[in-house]
Amino acid sequence: MEKTEFWSDYAPKRREPTHPVVESFVTGKLNFLSSRISGLEGRSILDVGCGNGRFTYHFPTKNKVGIDFSVEMIKRARQLVRDVPFIVGNGYKLPFRDRSFNVVFAGCYLHNLGDPLQALSEMARVAREYVILVEPNPFAIPIMLFNLFSGEERRNTVFRFTMKYYRDIFSKAGLEMYGTTRGFITPNRTPVWFQPILTYLERLAFITWFGCYFVIIGEKRSSNLYQGISQG
């Protein structure tokens, strides 16, 4: 999954940022993040592995940039999301100075990489305050079924991406971490008719423990702003 051709072929098949299922998937995660990080609207955000701009589009700030190594994905993002700079570039070597963005975000990105720690460390380098990930929970039932029936390469690698694994690499990258699981909507596969039911269930806090996605907030230990991420 580290080949740009794979993602370029995939670009036209992905649902758009304003598709109702995608919108519900993304805003559920962003509402949760806004409840944890005050003033997200005023912060600059870099979206790494931004794809067609699904998250980028919904970030509640004007100060946002998307980057992806697939030319086709970036072309799609530029068509779908106006007034946002989208750049072709590699997540292992981000073309930005240290501490360039308040928040460095990646959605459904890290588990596709051969060296997630290196990519995460690079995100931490260009972040001033937070590194945030949304990643599939490999043991949530719908995600597990998808992984089991996908190709062997994926099956052999994807189950290592547990919360424990993220805790370990966040610590190595110098980030204080808070993680939870949220949501039942899978953005590409959930049928439109099923979305309102899943969105309703997503609001019931106790069920979110079994959520399909990890939402992980890393705070830079070296940040002067470091307060400790609120737990609970």
Ligand X SMILES: C[S@@+](CC[C@H](N)C(=O)[O-])C[C@H]1O[C@@H](n2cnc3c(N)ncnc32)[C@H](O)[C@@H]1O
**Is residue 108 involved in binding ligand X (CB under 6 A)?**
yes
Q: Which residue is nearest to ligand X (CB)?
A: 51
The residue behind tokens 């989208």 is 86
Largest Cα–Cα distance in the chain? 46
Which amino acid is present at 192?
V
**Is residue 107 involved in binding ligand X (CB under 6 A)?**
yes
Q: Which of 50, 131, 173, 215 binds ligand X (CB under 6 A)?
A: 50
Instruction: Compare residues 176 and 179 and give the one whose CB is closer to ligand X.
Output: 179
Residues 6+ apart with CB under 8 A from 32: 180, 182, 215
**Is residue 54 involved in binding ligand X (CB under 6 A)?**
yes
d(CA 84, CA 77): 9
**Is residue 90 involved in binding ligand X (CB under 6 A)?**
yes
Minimum Å gap between C-beta 151 and ligand X is 15
Minimum Å gap between C-beta 2 and ligand X is 6
**Is residue 51 involved in binding ligand X (CB under 6 A)?**
yes
Q: Vertex 220, ends 160 and 181: CA angle to 5°?
A: 40
**Is residue 223 involved in binding ligand X (CB under 6 A)?**
no
Q: Residue 132 in contact with residue 217, Cβ under 8 Å? A: yes
d(CA 19, CA 192): 9
Minimum Å gap between C-beta 186 and ligand X is 11
DSSP 86: E
Minimum Å gap between C-beta 163 and ligand X is 19
Minimum Å gap between C-beta 16 and ligand X is 10
Q: What are phi and psi of 144, to 5 degrees?
A: -60, -45
Q: Which residues bind ligand X (CB under 6 A)?
A: 2, 7, 49-51, 54-55, 68-70, 73, 90-92, 107-109, 112-113
